């Protein structure tokens, strides 16, 4: 690991000023991803700006929405009473991620901006367009069991690894940002990019922007929501496929409203808009759940080792919807 200097920012404005001081300066959350990447010399910042203590509270507003500081630890968010009772999908998603020890230090901001777990990205001896633009992608013809089946490109087939973000995208989360040009907000689903020809550009963040908080809008039917993660080991493993869902049925068993998002399948947390559109107004039954899953995966493309994920994703969508249908309101 290279030598680096460490600063603790006293507020968001000073963090941004410190960040602008050098081209390789980075914000530091819990360090559970960034420091690993520094050890592997994939990332080599000369300066780290610790932002963990700047916004570490969770506020529930009168309308039921939540404002979650970017410095809130994953453990605290998963354990928060309002999250557990009103947005269980979020609590469950976080608890499937990493280990208790990692969740105790990992922050919301860092979780959102954690980088892919593609093994070729971590291996300096491999070709990786994300790590070194225009160098090629060894994953396309390599070991690609964990890689993308939706929205990938010839340049990059990596996936976004976060569980938390999948639930947040399903819940229409909004990210609040503070940067040199001021403050702005954007839907979380527009923060991460698909790879295209520039997989090294992972987000729509402007230079030096800091995530200050995440807002989860009120969604009464999210009380009936869940997260299912399919993985190779029962714990401490990234998703092969995951599904975050919330389902609202009317008295006749028809779908009033639904939220669906997928993890482990794309370069970004994947909001399943096609499936949602197929479900709204339809009978909540196996036939329509299957049709919705088919519609969402219609353009999925499998690689040598991951084609099974197409069927696995469909089955997981159907299983999660069946589970929510069976829950009492």
Ligand X SMILES: Cc1cc2nc3c(=O)[nH]c(=O)nc-3n(C[C@H](O)[C@H](O)[C@H](O)COP(=O)(O)OP(=O)(O)OC[C@H]3O[C@@H](n4cnc5c(N)ncnc54)[C@H](O)[C@@H]3O)c2cc1C
Could you list the residues that contact ligand X (CB under 6 A)? 26-34, 36, 51, 70, 97-98, 102, 106-107, 109-111, 113-114, 161-164, 210-211, 238
- Residue 177 CB, nearest approach to ligand X (Å): 8
Smaller CB distance to ligand X: residue 189 or 278?
Answer: 189
Q: Which helix (DSSP H) or strand (DSSP E) does residue 311 occupy? A: helix 308-326
Smaller CB distance to ligand X: residue 107 or 258?
Answer: 107
Give me the residue whose beta carbon is nearest to ligand X. 110
- Residue 328 CB, nearest approach to ligand X (Å): 29
Residues contacting residue 305 through CB under 8 Å, at least 6 positions apart: 143, 144, 145, 147
Residue 60 pairs with which residues in a beta bridge? 66
Smaller CB distance to ligand X: residue 31 or 180?
Answer: 31
- Residue 73 CB, nearest approach to ligand X (Å): 8
- Residue 295 CB, nearest approach to ligand X (Å): 27
How many other β-carbons are positioned within 10 Å of the β-carbon of residue 13? Answer: 12
Interatomic CA distance for residues 10 and 17, integer angstroms: 11
Residue 179 pairs with which residues in a beta bridge? 182
Interatomic CA distance for residues 206 and 246, integer angstroms: 32
Smaller CB distance to ligand X: residue 107 or 318?
Answer: 107
Phi and psi dihedrals of 320, rounded to 5? -70, -40
Both tokens of 78, joined, read 């998963």
Smaller CB distance to ligand X: residue 33 or 289?
Answer: 33
Smaller CB distance to ligand X: residue 32 or 91?
Answer: 32
- Residue 25 CB, nearest approach to ligand X (Å): 9
- Residue 95 CB, nearest approach to ligand X (Å): 10
Taken in order 241, 246, 251, 256, the sign of the CA dihedral is negative
How far is CA 25 from each of CA 18, 79, 175, 199, 273, rounded to the nearest angstrom? 8, 32, 22, 21, 37
Interatomic CA distance for residues 36 and 114, integer angstroms: 11
């Amino acid at each position: 690991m290279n030598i680096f200097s460490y600063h603790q920012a006293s507020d968001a404005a000073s963090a941004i000023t410190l960040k602008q001081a050098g081209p390789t300066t980075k914000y530091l959350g819990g360090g559970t991803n960034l420091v690993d990447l520094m050890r592997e010399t994939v990332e080599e910042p000369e300066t780290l700006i610790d932002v963990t203590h700047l916004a570490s509270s969770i506020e529930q507003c009168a309308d039921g929405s939540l404002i979650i500081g970017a410095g809130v630890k994953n453990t605290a968010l998963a354990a928060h009473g309002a999250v557990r009772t009103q947005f269980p999908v979020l609590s469950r998603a976080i608890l499937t991620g990493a280990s208790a020890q990692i969740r105790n230090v990992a922050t919301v901001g860092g979780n959102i901006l954690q980088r892919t777990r593609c093994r070729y990205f971590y291996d300096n001896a491999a070709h990786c367009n994300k790590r070194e633009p225009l160098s090629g992608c060894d994953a396309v013809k390599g070991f690609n069991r964990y890689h993308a089946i939706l929205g990938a490109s010839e340049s990059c087939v990596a996936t976004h690894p976060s569980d938390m973000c999948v639930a947040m995208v399903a819940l229409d989360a909004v990210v609040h940002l503070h940067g040199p040009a001021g403050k702005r907000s954007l839907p979380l689903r527009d923060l991460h990019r698909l790879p295209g020809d520039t997989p090294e550009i992972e987000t729509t963040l402007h230079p030096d922007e800091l995530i200050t908080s995440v807002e989860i809008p009120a969604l009464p039917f999210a009380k009936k929501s869940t997260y299912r993660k399919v993985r190779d080991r029962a714990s401490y493993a990234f998703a092969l496929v995951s599904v975050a869902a919330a389902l609202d049925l009317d008295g006749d068993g028809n779908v009033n409203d639904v939220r669906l998002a997928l993890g482990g399948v794309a370069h970004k947390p994947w909001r399943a808009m096609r499936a949602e559109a197929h479900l709204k107004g339809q009978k909540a039954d196996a036939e329509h759940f299957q049709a919705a899953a088919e519609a969402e995966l219609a353009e999925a493309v499998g690689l040598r080792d991951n084609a099974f994920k197409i069927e696995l994703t469909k089955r997981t969508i159907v299983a999660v919807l069946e589970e929510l249908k069976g829950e009492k309101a």
